Structure 1
Amino acid sequence: MNIAHLILAHNQPGQLKRLISRLAHPDADVYIHLDAKTEMQPFEHLAKLPNVFFIKDRVKVYWGSFNIVQATINGFQQIIRSGRQYGYVNLLSGQDYPLKPAALIHQFLADNPGKAYMNALVAETHWMEALPRVQEYHLNNYQFPGKFMVQKAINKLMPQRKLPNGLVLVGRSQWFTISGECVAFILDYWDKHPALRRFMKLTWAPDEFIFQTILYNNADYKARMVADDLRYIDWSGGGVSPKTLTMEDAAALEASGKLFARKFDEMKDSAVMDHIDKHPA
Protein backbone atom coordinates (compact mmCIF):
# COMPACT_ATOMS: atom_id res chain seq x y z
CA MET A 1 0.00 0.00 0.00
CA ASN A 2 1.71 3.16 -1.23
CA ILE A 3 0.86 6.25 0.82
CA ALA A 4 1.49 9.90 0.01
CA HIS A 5 1.67 12.05 3.13
CA LEU A 6 0.89 15.68 2.29
CA ILE A 7 2.09 17.97 5.07
CA LEU A 8 1.08 21.64 5.33
CA ALA A 9 3.85 23.33 7.30
CA HIS A 10 4.96 26.83 8.19
CA ASN A 11 7.53 26.59 11.01
CA GLN A 12 9.73 24.42 13.24
CA PRO A 13 11.94 22.51 10.76
CA GLY A 14 13.24 20.29 13.56
CA GLN A 15 9.78 19.08 14.51
CA LEU A 16 8.91 18.62 10.85
CA LYS A 17 11.99 16.43 10.39
CA ARG A 18 10.90 14.33 13.34
CA LEU A 19 7.44 13.89 11.81
CA ILE A 20 8.97 12.84 8.48
CA SER A 21 11.19 10.29 10.23
CA ARG A 22 8.21 8.84 12.09
CA LEU A 23 6.32 8.43 8.80
CA ALA A 24 9.25 6.80 6.99
CA HIS A 25 8.37 3.53 5.24
CA PRO A 26 9.49 1.86 1.98
CA ASP A 27 6.03 2.50 0.52
CA ALA A 28 5.62 6.09 1.75
CA ASP A 29 6.43 9.40 0.11
CA VAL A 30 6.23 12.74 1.90
CA TYR A 31 5.15 15.93 0.12
CA ILE A 32 5.55 19.23 1.97
CA HIS A 33 3.76 22.48 1.23
CA LEU A 34 5.72 25.19 3.01
CA ASP A 35 3.78 28.42 3.50
CA ALA A 36 5.13 30.95 1.00
CA LYS A 37 5.42 33.48 3.85
CA THR A 38 8.10 31.22 5.38
CA GLU A 39 11.75 31.39 4.38
CA MET A 40 12.71 28.18 2.57
CA GLN A 41 16.38 28.00 3.59
CA PRO A 42 15.94 26.46 7.09
CA PHE A 43 13.90 23.64 5.52
CA GLU A 44 15.99 22.89 2.43
CA HIS A 45 17.95 20.07 4.07
CA LEU A 46 14.73 18.07 4.42
CA ALA A 47 14.58 17.64 0.64
CA LYS A 48 17.70 15.47 0.94
CA LEU A 49 15.81 12.90 3.00
CA PRO A 50 14.61 9.79 1.12
CA ASN A 51 11.22 10.12 -0.60
CA VAL A 52 10.68 13.73 0.50
CA PHE A 53 9.44 16.33 -1.99
CA PHE A 54 8.49 19.97 -1.61
CA ILE A 55 5.40 21.30 -3.35
CA LYS A 56 6.72 23.61 -6.03
CA ASP A 57 3.67 25.86 -6.33
CA ARG A 58 3.66 27.50 -2.88
CA VAL A 59 1.03 29.98 -1.72
CA LYS A 60 0.79 32.37 1.21
CA VAL A 61 -1.54 30.86 3.79
CA TYR A 62 -3.65 32.92 6.19
CA TRP A 63 -5.83 31.47 8.91
CA GLY A 64 -9.35 30.70 7.68
CA SER A 65 -8.50 31.65 4.11
CA PHE A 66 -9.20 30.00 0.78
CA ASN A 67 -5.46 29.70 0.17
CA ILE A 68 -5.35 26.74 2.56
CA VAL A 69 -7.55 24.96 0.05
CA GLN A 70 -5.30 26.14 -2.78
CA ALA A 71 -2.21 24.81 -0.98
CA THR A 72 -3.91 21.43 -0.59
CA ILE A 73 -5.03 21.38 -4.23
CA ASN A 74 -1.49 22.23 -5.35
CA GLY A 75 -0.23 19.34 -3.26
CA PHE A 76 -2.82 16.95 -4.69
CA GLN A 77 -1.89 17.98 -8.22
CA GLN A 78 1.82 17.39 -7.71
CA ILE A 79 1.08 14.00 -6.14
CA ILE A 80 -1.02 12.98 -9.15
CA ARG A 81 1.55 14.34 -11.61
CA SER A 82 4.25 12.22 -9.94
CA GLY A 83 2.81 9.24 -11.82
CA ARG A 84 3.07 6.99 -8.78
CA GLN A 85 -0.08 5.12 -7.79
CA TYR A 86 -1.00 5.85 -4.18
CA GLY A 87 -3.56 3.81 -2.32
CA TYR A 88 -4.05 6.69 0.12
CA VAL A 89 -3.22 10.36 0.48
CA ASN A 90 -2.89 11.47 4.09
CA LEU A 91 -3.25 15.19 4.87
CA LEU A 92 -1.29 16.35 7.91
CA SER A 93 -0.11 19.56 9.49
CA GLY A 94 3.47 20.06 10.60
CA GLN A 95 2.23 19.77 14.19
CA ASP A 96 0.68 16.31 13.78
CA TYR A 97 2.36 13.10 14.92
CA PRO A 98 1.61 9.42 14.29
CA LEU A 99 0.48 7.45 17.32
CA LYS A 100 1.28 4.13 15.67
CA PRO A 101 4.41 2.92 13.85
CA ALA A 102 4.42 3.42 10.10
CA ALA A 103 4.14 -0.32 9.44
CA LEU A 104 0.87 -0.55 11.38
CA ILE A 105 -0.53 2.52 9.61
CA HIS A 106 0.24 0.97 6.22
CA GLN A 107 -1.26 -2.35 7.28
CA PHE A 108 -4.48 -0.73 8.50
CA LEU A 109 -4.97 1.17 5.26
CA ALA A 110 -4.06 -1.86 3.16
CA ASP A 111 -6.76 -3.80 5.02
CA ASN A 112 -9.30 -1.02 4.31
CA PRO A 113 -8.73 0.12 0.73
CA GLY A 114 -10.65 2.79 -1.14
CA LYS A 115 -12.10 4.66 1.84
CA ALA A 116 -12.34 8.33 2.77
CA TYR A 117 -11.66 8.78 6.48
CA MET A 118 -12.92 12.28 7.23
CA ASN A 119 -15.38 14.21 9.37
CA ALA A 120 -18.47 15.00 7.31
CA LEU A 121 -21.31 16.44 9.36
CA VAL A 122 -24.27 17.76 7.37
CA ALA A 123 -24.24 21.47 8.12
CA GLU A 124 -28.00 22.08 8.01
CA THR A 125 -28.69 19.43 10.64
CA HIS A 126 -25.50 18.73 12.64
CA TRP A 127 -23.11 21.65 12.03
CA MET A 128 -25.33 24.67 11.74
CA GLU A 129 -22.69 27.11 12.98
CA ALA A 130 -20.91 26.51 9.67
CA LEU A 131 -23.76 27.85 7.51
CA PRO A 132 -22.66 31.53 7.68
CA ARG A 133 -19.31 30.45 6.24
CA VAL A 134 -20.97 30.02 2.85
CA GLN A 135 -24.09 32.17 3.21
CA GLU A 136 -22.10 35.36 3.82
CA TYR A 137 -19.25 36.99 1.90
CA HIS A 138 -15.81 36.67 3.51
CA LEU A 139 -12.72 38.59 2.42
CA ASN A 140 -10.20 36.85 4.66
CA ASN A 141 -8.24 35.64 1.63
CA TYR A 142 -7.45 39.24 0.74
CA GLN A 143 -5.10 41.64 2.49
CA PHE A 144 -6.02 45.32 2.29
CA PRO A 145 -6.83 48.08 4.82
CA GLY A 146 -10.48 48.26 5.85
CA LYS A 147 -11.41 44.87 4.40
CA PHE A 148 -13.69 43.99 7.31
CA MET A 149 -15.64 47.22 6.86
CA VAL A 150 -15.99 46.42 3.17
CA GLN A 151 -17.05 42.85 4.05
CA LYS A 152 -19.71 44.13 6.43
CA ALA A 153 -21.09 46.51 3.80
CA ILE A 154 -21.20 43.79 1.15
CA ASN A 155 -23.13 41.43 3.41
CA LYS A 156 -25.59 44.18 4.29
CA LEU A 157 -26.32 44.93 0.66
CA MET A 158 -26.10 41.53 -1.01
CA PRO A 159 -28.53 38.58 -0.74
CA GLN A 160 -27.62 35.38 1.07
CA ARG A 161 -25.23 33.17 -0.87
CA LYS A 162 -25.93 29.57 -1.89
CA LEU A 163 -23.52 26.81 -2.82
CA PRO A 164 -23.41 26.23 -6.60
CA ASN A 165 -25.00 23.20 -8.20
CA GLY A 166 -27.28 22.56 -5.21
CA LEU A 167 -24.43 21.02 -3.22
CA VAL A 168 -25.15 19.84 0.32
CA LEU A 169 -22.63 21.39 2.72
CA VAL A 170 -20.78 18.86 4.90
CA GLY A 171 -17.55 18.94 6.85
CA ARG A 172 -15.99 19.66 10.23
CA SER A 173 -12.22 19.04 10.23
CA GLN A 174 -9.53 19.93 7.73
CA TRP A 175 -7.42 16.80 8.26
CA PHE A 176 -8.19 13.46 6.62
CA THR A 177 -6.94 10.27 5.00
CA ILE A 178 -8.55 9.46 1.65
CA SER A 179 -7.91 7.04 -1.19
CA GLY A 180 -6.00 8.04 -4.29
CA GLU A 181 -9.20 7.57 -6.28
CA CYS A 182 -10.93 10.13 -4.07
CA VAL A 183 -8.14 12.63 -4.69
CA ALA A 184 -8.38 12.12 -8.45
CA PHE A 185 -12.15 12.64 -8.32
CA ILE A 186 -11.79 15.82 -6.24
CA LEU A 187 -9.30 17.30 -8.71
CA ASP A 188 -11.47 16.40 -11.70
CA TYR A 189 -14.55 17.95 -10.07
CA TRP A 190 -12.59 21.04 -9.06
CA ASP A 191 -11.28 21.50 -12.59
CA LYS A 192 -14.69 21.12 -14.21
CA HIS A 193 -16.60 23.51 -11.90
CA PRO A 194 -15.16 27.03 -12.12
CA ALA A 195 -18.24 28.50 -10.42
CA LEU A 196 -17.42 26.48 -7.31
CA ARG A 197 -13.81 27.67 -7.37
CA ARG A 198 -14.96 31.30 -7.54
CA PHE A 199 -17.52 30.77 -4.80
CA MET A 200 -15.02 29.22 -2.40
CA LYS A 201 -12.70 32.21 -2.58
CA LEU A 202 -15.28 34.23 -0.65
CA THR A 203 -16.03 31.71 2.11
CA TRP A 204 -14.54 31.31 5.59
CA ALA A 205 -12.30 28.31 6.42
CA PRO A 206 -13.36 26.32 3.32
CA ASP A 207 -10.58 23.81 4.04
CA GLU A 208 -12.88 22.30 6.67
CA PHE A 209 -15.66 21.44 4.22
CA ILE A 210 -14.85 21.70 0.52
CA PHE A 211 -13.28 18.26 0.04
CA GLN A 212 -15.92 16.47 2.12
CA THR A 213 -18.67 18.33 0.24
CA ILE A 214 -17.35 17.29 -3.17
CA LEU A 215 -17.22 13.62 -2.19
CA TYR A 216 -20.50 13.58 -0.25
CA ASN A 217 -22.50 14.92 -3.19
CA ASN A 218 -21.50 12.02 -5.41
CA ALA A 219 -23.33 8.80 -4.53
CA ASP A 220 -20.39 6.51 -5.29
CA TYR A 221 -17.89 8.48 -3.24
CA LYS A 222 -20.35 9.21 -0.45
CA ALA A 223 -20.57 5.45 0.06
CA ARG A 224 -16.79 5.34 0.63
CA MET A 225 -16.83 7.95 3.40
CA VAL A 226 -16.14 6.78 6.95
CA ALA A 227 -17.10 9.12 9.81
CA ASP A 228 -13.70 8.84 11.46
CA ASP A 229 -10.71 11.00 10.58
CA LEU A 230 -8.35 8.57 12.41
CA ARG A 231 -7.07 11.45 14.57
CA TYR A 232 -7.04 12.28 18.27
CA ILE A 233 -7.72 16.00 18.72
CA ASP A 234 -8.64 17.60 22.04
CA TRP A 235 -11.08 20.52 21.70
CA SER A 236 -11.88 20.65 25.41
CA GLY A 237 -10.43 24.13 25.73
CA GLY A 238 -13.33 25.54 23.75
CA GLY A 239 -11.16 27.87 21.66
CA VAL A 240 -10.64 28.17 17.93
CA SER A 241 -7.60 25.89 18.09
CA PRO A 242 -7.23 22.45 19.67
CA LYS A 243 -5.21 21.86 22.82
CA THR A 244 -1.46 21.50 22.47
CA LEU A 245 -0.84 17.98 23.73
CA THR A 246 1.64 17.30 26.54
CA MET A 247 2.66 14.44 28.81
CA GLU A 248 -0.55 14.90 30.79
CA ASP A 249 -2.35 13.61 27.69
CA ALA A 250 -0.18 10.49 27.34
CA ALA A 251 -2.76 8.09 28.78
CA ALA A 252 -5.54 9.46 26.59
CA LEU A 253 -3.34 9.16 23.51
CA GLU A 254 -2.50 5.53 24.31
CA ALA A 255 -6.18 4.68 24.86
CA SER A 256 -7.46 6.52 21.77
CA GLY A 257 -6.84 3.80 19.20
CA LYS A 258 -6.24 6.52 16.60
CA LEU A 259 -3.51 6.53 13.98
CA PHE A 260 -2.53 10.19 14.41
CA ALA A 261 -2.92 13.07 16.85
CA ARG A 262 -2.58 16.84 16.86
CA LYS A 263 -1.32 19.20 17.85
CA PHE A 264 2.19 18.99 19.29
CA ASP A 265 4.85 21.60 19.96
CA GLU A 266 8.37 20.37 20.68
CA MET A 267 9.28 23.77 22.12
CA LYS A 268 6.56 23.30 24.76
CA ASP A 269 6.76 19.56 25.40
CA SER A 270 8.85 17.16 23.35
CA ALA A 271 8.63 14.46 26.03
CA VAL A 272 5.13 13.46 24.90
CA MET A 273 6.47 12.59 21.42
CA ASP A 274 9.32 10.65 23.02
CA HIS A 275 6.70 8.75 25.00
CA ILE A 276 4.69 7.97 21.86
CA ASP A 277 7.80 6.58 20.17
CA LYS A 278 8.34 4.21 23.09
CA HIS A 279 4.65 3.41 23.79
CA PRO A 280 2.68 3.45 20.52
CA ALA A 281 -1.11 3.54 20.92
Structure 2
Amino acid sequence: MKIAHLILAHNNPSQLESLVKRLIYKDDAVYIHLDKKTDFSQFARLASLPNVIFVKKRVKVTWGACNIVTATINGFKEIIASGVAYDYLNLLSGADYPLQPPAAFHQYLSAHQGKAFMSYAKMHSEWQEALPRVEQYHLNNFKFPGRYVAQKLVNRVMPKRNVPSGLVPVGRSQWFTIPVACVRHIVSYWQKNNRLRRFTTFTWAPDEFIFQTILYNSTHCKILVNNNLRYMDWPAGAASPKMLSMADHEHIINSEHFFARKFDFEKSPDLLNLLNQRLEQSANLN
Protein backbone atom coordinates (compact mmCIF):
# COMPACT_ATOMS: atom_id res chain seq x y z
CA MET A 1 0.00 0.00 0.00
CA LYS A 2 1.38 3.37 -1.07
CA ILE A 3 -0.44 6.63 -0.33
CA ALA A 4 0.15 9.99 -1.97
CA HIS A 5 -1.03 12.75 0.34
CA LEU A 6 -1.83 16.02 -1.44
CA ILE A 7 -1.97 19.06 0.85
CA LEU A 8 -3.38 22.41 -0.25
CA ALA A 9 -1.67 24.99 1.96
CA HIS A 10 -1.25 28.74 2.17
CA ASN A 11 -0.12 29.68 5.70
CA ASN A 12 1.15 28.52 9.11
CA PRO A 13 4.47 26.89 8.10
CA SER A 14 5.08 25.39 11.56
CA GLN A 15 1.62 23.78 11.61
CA LEU A 16 2.16 22.44 8.10
CA GLU A 17 5.49 20.97 9.19
CA SER A 18 3.78 19.18 12.11
CA LEU A 19 1.17 17.78 9.73
CA VAL A 20 3.74 16.61 7.17
CA LYS A 21 5.86 14.87 9.80
CA ARG A 22 2.81 12.99 11.06
CA LEU A 23 2.02 11.79 7.53
CA ILE A 24 5.48 10.56 6.50
CA TYR A 25 5.44 6.76 6.61
CA LYS A 26 7.27 4.03 4.70
CA ASP A 27 6.97 4.66 0.93
CA ASP A 28 4.17 7.21 1.19
CA ALA A 29 4.74 10.65 -0.29
CA VAL A 30 3.51 14.11 0.68
CA TYR A 31 2.82 16.53 -2.18
CA ILE A 32 2.20 20.15 -1.23
CA HIS A 33 0.49 22.76 -3.36
CA LEU A 34 1.48 26.09 -1.85
CA ASP A 35 -0.71 29.02 -2.84
CA LYS A 36 1.23 31.12 -5.35
CA LYS A 37 0.42 34.23 -3.28
CA THR A 38 2.43 32.74 -0.40
CA ASP A 39 6.17 33.32 0.06
CA PHE A 40 7.80 29.95 -0.58
CA SER A 41 10.90 30.77 1.52
CA GLN A 42 8.93 30.25 4.76
CA PHE A 43 8.18 26.65 3.72
CA ALA A 44 11.38 25.72 1.85
CA ARG A 45 12.81 23.65 4.72
CA LEU A 46 10.01 21.11 4.26
CA ALA A 47 11.49 20.11 0.89
CA SER A 48 14.40 18.50 2.74
CA LEU A 49 12.11 16.03 4.49
CA PRO A 50 11.94 12.51 2.98
CA ASN A 51 9.34 11.97 0.26
CA VAL A 52 8.06 15.56 0.43
CA ILE A 53 7.46 17.19 -2.98
CA PHE A 54 6.17 20.67 -3.71
CA VAL A 55 3.80 20.89 -6.69
CA LYS A 56 5.68 22.88 -9.31
CA LYS A 57 2.72 24.47 -11.10
CA ARG A 58 1.40 26.74 -8.37
CA VAL A 59 -1.86 28.69 -8.60
CA LYS A 60 -3.12 31.80 -6.82
CA VAL A 61 -6.04 30.43 -4.83
CA THR A 62 -9.14 32.45 -3.91
CA TRP A 63 -11.80 31.14 -1.54
CA GLY A 64 -14.88 29.99 -3.44
CA ALA A 65 -13.25 30.36 -6.86
CA CYS A 66 -12.43 27.82 -9.55
CA ASN A 67 -8.68 28.25 -9.11
CA ILE A 68 -8.68 25.83 -6.17
CA VAL A 69 -9.94 23.15 -8.58
CA THR A 70 -7.04 24.03 -10.89
CA ALA A 71 -4.58 23.79 -7.98
CA THR A 72 -5.95 20.36 -7.04
CA ILE A 73 -5.86 19.10 -10.62
CA ASN A 74 -2.24 20.31 -10.93
CA GLY A 75 -1.39 18.23 -7.88
CA PHE A 76 -3.20 15.23 -9.35
CA LYS A 77 -1.27 15.56 -12.60
CA GLU A 78 2.09 15.74 -10.86
CA ILE A 79 1.33 12.67 -8.76
CA ILE A 80 0.33 10.72 -11.88
CA ALA A 81 3.37 11.98 -13.82
CA SER A 82 5.69 10.79 -11.04
CA GLY A 83 5.29 7.25 -12.35
CA VAL A 84 5.10 5.91 -8.79
CA ALA A 85 2.47 3.20 -8.33
CA TYR A 86 0.49 4.84 -5.56
CA ASP A 87 -2.66 3.01 -4.49
CA TYR A 88 -4.51 5.92 -2.89
CA LEU A 89 -4.57 9.69 -2.96
CA ASN A 90 -5.47 11.48 0.25
CA LEU A 91 -6.49 15.13 -0.19
CA LEU A 92 -5.90 17.40 2.80
CA SER A 93 -5.67 21.06 3.64
CA GLY A 94 -2.96 22.65 5.77
CA ALA A 95 -5.62 23.07 8.48
CA ASP A 96 -6.14 19.29 8.84
CA TYR A 97 -4.48 16.91 11.29
CA PRO A 98 -4.44 13.11 11.72
CA LEU A 99 -6.28 11.50 14.61
CA GLN A 100 -4.78 8.05 14.10
CA PRO A 101 -1.23 6.97 13.20
CA PRO A 102 -0.32 6.16 9.58
CA ALA A 103 -0.16 2.42 10.23
CA ALA A 104 -3.84 2.40 11.26
CA PHE A 105 -4.78 4.37 8.13
CA HIS A 106 -2.87 1.87 5.97
CA GLN A 107 -4.59 -1.07 7.67
CA TYR A 108 -8.01 0.46 7.09
CA LEU A 109 -7.42 1.16 3.40
CA SER A 110 -5.94 -2.30 2.89
CA ALA A 111 -9.06 -3.82 4.44
CA HIS A 112 -11.25 -1.71 2.12
CA GLN A 113 -9.05 -1.87 -0.97
CA GLY A 114 -10.56 -0.15 -3.99
CA LYS A 115 -13.20 1.87 -2.13
CA ALA A 116 -13.39 5.65 -2.59
CA PHE A 117 -14.12 7.66 0.54
CA MET A 118 -15.76 11.03 -0.08
CA SER A 119 -18.81 12.86 1.25
CA TYR A 120 -21.54 13.47 -1.28
CA ALA A 121 -25.21 14.44 -1.39
CA LYS A 122 -27.46 14.99 -4.38
CA MET A 123 -28.00 18.73 -4.82
CA HIS A 124 -31.56 18.41 -6.14
CA SER A 125 -32.83 16.33 -3.22
CA GLU A 126 -30.35 16.28 -0.31
CA TRP A 127 -28.26 19.46 -0.61
CA GLN A 128 -30.65 21.95 -2.13
CA GLU A 129 -29.02 24.98 -0.51
CA ALA A 130 -26.10 24.36 -2.88
CA LEU A 131 -28.20 24.51 -6.07
CA PRO A 132 -27.55 28.24 -6.65
CA ARG A 133 -23.87 27.34 -7.03
CA VAL A 134 -24.62 25.61 -10.33
CA GLU A 135 -27.94 27.10 -11.42
CA GLN A 136 -26.82 30.73 -11.24
CA TYR A 137 -23.88 32.60 -12.75
CA HIS A 138 -21.09 33.54 -10.36
CA LEU A 139 -18.36 36.03 -11.26
CA ASN A 140 -16.07 35.40 -8.30
CA ASN A 141 -13.36 34.19 -10.70
CA PHE A 142 -13.15 37.64 -12.26
CA LYS A 143 -11.83 40.84 -10.76
CA PHE A 144 -13.42 44.02 -12.08
CA PRO A 145 -15.30 46.89 -10.42
CA GLY A 146 -18.99 46.20 -9.97
CA ARG A 147 -18.75 42.49 -10.71
CA TYR A 148 -21.36 41.60 -8.08
CA VAL A 149 -23.81 44.12 -9.53
CA ALA A 150 -23.11 42.58 -12.94
CA GLN A 151 -23.67 39.12 -11.47
CA LYS A 152 -27.14 40.11 -10.22
CA LEU A 153 -28.05 41.58 -13.59
CA VAL A 154 -26.86 38.49 -15.47
CA ASN A 155 -28.88 36.16 -13.25
CA ARG A 156 -31.94 38.37 -13.62
CA VAL A 157 -32.04 38.02 -17.40
CA MET A 158 -30.41 34.63 -18.03
CA PRO A 159 -32.21 31.28 -17.68
CA LYS A 160 -31.32 28.76 -14.98
CA ARG A 161 -28.09 26.91 -15.73
CA ASN A 162 -27.73 23.14 -16.01
CA VAL A 163 -24.61 21.04 -15.48
CA PRO A 164 -23.27 19.99 -18.91
CA SER A 165 -23.87 16.52 -20.34
CA GLY A 166 -26.75 15.88 -17.95
CA LEU A 167 -24.42 15.20 -15.04
CA VAL A 168 -26.18 14.76 -11.70
CA PRO A 169 -24.54 17.31 -9.37
CA VAL A 170 -23.44 15.90 -6.01
CA GLY A 171 -21.02 17.11 -3.39
CA ARG A 172 -20.38 18.35 0.12
CA SER A 173 -16.83 18.39 1.48
CA GLN A 174 -13.90 18.68 -0.91
CA TRP A 175 -11.52 16.53 1.17
CA PHE A 176 -11.37 12.83 0.37
CA THR A 177 -9.37 9.60 0.08
CA ILE A 178 -9.74 7.83 -3.27
CA PRO A 179 -7.92 5.19 -5.35
CA VAL A 180 -5.48 6.62 -7.87
CA ALA A 181 -7.60 5.04 -10.64
CA CYS A 182 -10.30 7.55 -9.67
CA VAL A 183 -7.75 10.37 -9.81
CA ARG A 184 -6.80 9.35 -13.33
CA HIS A 185 -10.46 9.36 -14.35
CA ILE A 186 -11.02 12.83 -12.86
CA VAL A 187 -8.00 14.29 -14.68
CA SER A 188 -8.94 12.63 -17.98
CA TYR A 189 -12.57 13.76 -17.79
CA TRP A 190 -11.58 17.31 -16.83
CA GLN A 191 -9.12 17.61 -19.71
CA LYS A 192 -11.53 16.22 -22.32
CA ASN A 193 -14.59 18.26 -21.36
CA ASN A 194 -14.19 21.91 -22.25
CA ARG A 195 -17.88 22.59 -21.57
CA LEU A 196 -17.54 21.41 -17.98
CA ARG A 197 -14.42 23.52 -17.44
CA ARG A 198 -16.16 26.62 -18.81
CA PHE A 199 -19.28 25.88 -16.77
CA THR A 200 -17.22 25.51 -13.59
CA THR A 201 -15.60 28.92 -14.15
CA PHE A 202 -18.99 30.52 -13.46
CA THR A 203 -19.87 28.50 -10.33
CA TRP A 204 -19.23 29.15 -6.65
CA ALA A 205 -17.01 26.83 -4.55
CA PRO A 206 -16.80 24.13 -7.26
CA ASP A 207 -14.11 22.29 -5.28
CA GLU A 208 -16.92 21.01 -3.03
CA PHE A 209 -18.80 19.26 -5.81
CA ILE A 210 -16.85 18.90 -9.06
CA PHE A 211 -14.78 15.83 -8.08
CA GLN A 212 -17.71 13.98 -6.52
CA THR A 213 -19.89 14.82 -9.53
CA ILE A 214 -17.35 13.46 -12.02
CA LEU A 215 -17.01 10.16 -10.13
CA TYR A 216 -20.71 9.80 -9.25
CA ASN A 217 -21.61 10.01 -12.93
CA SER A 218 -19.07 7.37 -13.96
CA THR A 219 -18.54 3.65 -13.55
CA HIS A 220 -16.62 4.51 -10.37
CA CYS A 221 -19.91 5.34 -8.63
CA LYS A 222 -20.21 1.75 -7.45
CA ILE A 223 -17.10 2.05 -5.26
CA LEU A 224 -18.05 5.34 -3.59
CA VAL A 225 -18.45 5.27 0.18
CA ASN A 226 -20.32 8.29 1.54
CA ASN A 227 -17.78 8.94 4.28
CA ASN A 228 -14.65 11.03 3.87
CA LEU A 229 -13.06 9.68 7.08
CA ARG A 230 -12.78 13.19 8.53
CA TYR A 231 -14.24 14.83 11.62
CA MET A 232 -15.73 18.28 11.00
CA ASP A 233 -18.21 20.40 12.90
CA TRP A 234 -20.51 22.29 10.53
CA PRO A 235 -22.61 24.95 12.31
CA ALA A 236 -26.10 25.26 10.84
CA GLY A 237 -26.08 27.45 7.74
CA ALA A 238 -22.32 28.01 7.83
CA ALA A 239 -20.27 28.12 4.62
CA SER A 240 -17.37 26.25 6.22
CA PRO A 241 -16.74 24.07 9.29
CA LYS A 242 -15.90 25.71 12.62
CA MET A 243 -12.34 26.13 13.84
CA LEU A 244 -11.81 23.39 16.42
CA SER A 245 -10.44 24.19 19.87
CA MET A 246 -9.79 22.53 23.23
CA ALA A 247 -13.53 22.69 23.88
CA ASP A 248 -13.98 20.15 21.06
CA HIS A 249 -11.31 17.73 22.25
CA GLU A 250 -13.61 14.99 23.55
CA HIS A 251 -15.71 15.02 20.37
CA ILE A 252 -12.58 14.85 18.23
CA ILE A 253 -10.92 11.90 19.94
CA ASN A 254 -14.19 9.96 20.22
CA SER A 255 -15.04 10.40 16.54
CA GLU A 256 -13.10 7.32 15.31
CA HIS A 257 -12.18 9.25 12.15
CA PHE A 258 -8.68 9.32 10.71
CA PHE A 259 -8.41 13.10 10.25
CA ALA A 260 -10.07 16.24 11.56
CA ARG A 261 -10.38 19.86 10.48
CA LYS A 262 -10.11 22.79 10.89
CA PHE A 263 -7.29 23.65 13.28
CA ASP A 264 -5.25 26.74 14.07
CA PHE A 265 -2.64 25.49 16.49
CA GLU A 266 -1.18 28.96 17.03
CA LYS A 267 -4.42 29.67 18.87
CA SER A 268 -4.79 26.17 20.35
CA PRO A 269 -1.27 24.84 21.10
CA ASP A 270 -2.55 22.66 23.95
CA LEU A 271 -4.83 20.85 21.51
CA LEU A 272 -1.87 20.06 19.26
CA ASN A 273 0.03 18.65 22.24
CA LEU A 274 -2.91 16.44 23.22
CA LEU A 275 -3.39 15.15 19.69
CA ASN A 276 0.32 14.37 19.38
CA GLN A 277 0.33 12.53 22.71
CA ARG A 278 -2.62 10.44 21.55
CA LEU A 279 -0.91 9.67 18.25
CA GLU A 280 2.26 8.57 20.05
CA GLN A 281 0.32 6.34 22.42
CA SER A 282 -1.63 4.77 19.56
CA ALA A 283 1.54 4.15 17.54
CA ASN A 284 3.18 2.43 20.53
CA LEU A 285 0.22 0.09 20.89
CA ASN A 286 0.57 -1.16 17.29
TM-score calculated relative to the size of structure 2: 0.95
What does residue 229 of structure 1 align with? 228
Whole-Å Cα distance in 1 between the matches of residues 25 and 245 of structure 2? 26
Whole-Å Cα distance in 1 between the matches of residues 142 and 114 of structure 2? 37
- State whether residues 174 and 209 of structure 1, in contact with CA within 8 Å, keep that contact through their aligned partners in structure 2: yes
What does residue 141 of structure 2 align with? 141
Whole-Å Cα distance in 2 between the matches of residues 270 and 116 of structure 1? 33
Matched, 1:62 2:75: no
Matched, 1:269 2:268: yes
Identical counterparts, % of pairs: 55
Whole-Å Cα distance in 1 between the matches of residues 265 and 170 of structure 2? 33
Matched, 1:249 2:252: no
Aligned residues: CA RMSD: 1.2
What does residue 279 of structure 1 align with? 278
Amino acid at match of 1:131: L
- State whether residues 237 and 243 of structure 1, in contact with CA within 8 Å, keep that contact through their aligned partners in structure 2: no
User: Does the residue aligned with 1:91 lie in a helix, a strand or coil?
Assistant: strand
Whole-Å Cα distance in 2 between the matches of residues 15 and 238 of structure 1? 28
Residues 107-116 or 224-233, more deviating: 107-116
What does residue 172 of structure 1 align with? 172
Matched, 1:163 2:197: no
Amino acid at match of 1:157: V
- The gaps in structure 1 that reach 5 residues or longer are none
Residues 63-72 or 154-163, more deviating: 154-163
What does residue 201 of structure 2 align with? 201
Whole-Å Cα distance in 1 between the matches of residues 40 and 139 of structure 2? 27
User: Does the residue aligned with 1:76 lie in a helix, a strand or coil?
Assistant: helix
The Cα of 1:245 is off from its aligned counterpart by: 1.4
The Cα of 1:236 is off from its aligned counterpart by: 3.1
Residues 58-67 or 244-253, more deviating: 244-253
Whole-Å Cα distance in 1 between the matches of residues 164 and 25 of structure 2? 41
The Cα of 1:240 is off from its aligned counterpart by: 2.3
Amino acid at match of 2:59: V
- State whether residues 245 and 272 of structure 1, in contact with CA within 8 Å, keep that contact through their aligned partners in structure 2: no
What does residue 111 of structure 1 align with? 111
User: Does the residue aligned with 2:92 lie in a helix, a strand or coil?
Assistant: strand
The Cα of 1:71 is off from its aligned counterpart by: 0.5
Q: Where has structure 1 moved over 4 Å in runs of 4 or more? A: none
Matched, 1:18 2:18: yes
Matched, 1:98 2:90: no
Deviations 1:47-101 (A, max 9, x none): 1111011111111111100001111000000000000111110010001000001
Whole-Å Cα distance in 1 between the matches of residues 236 and 7 of structure 2? 25
Whole-Å Cα distance in 2 between the matches of residues 28 and 258 of structure 1? 20
Amino acid at match of 1:193: N
Whole-Å Cα distance in 2 between the matches of residues 103 and 252 of structure 1? 22
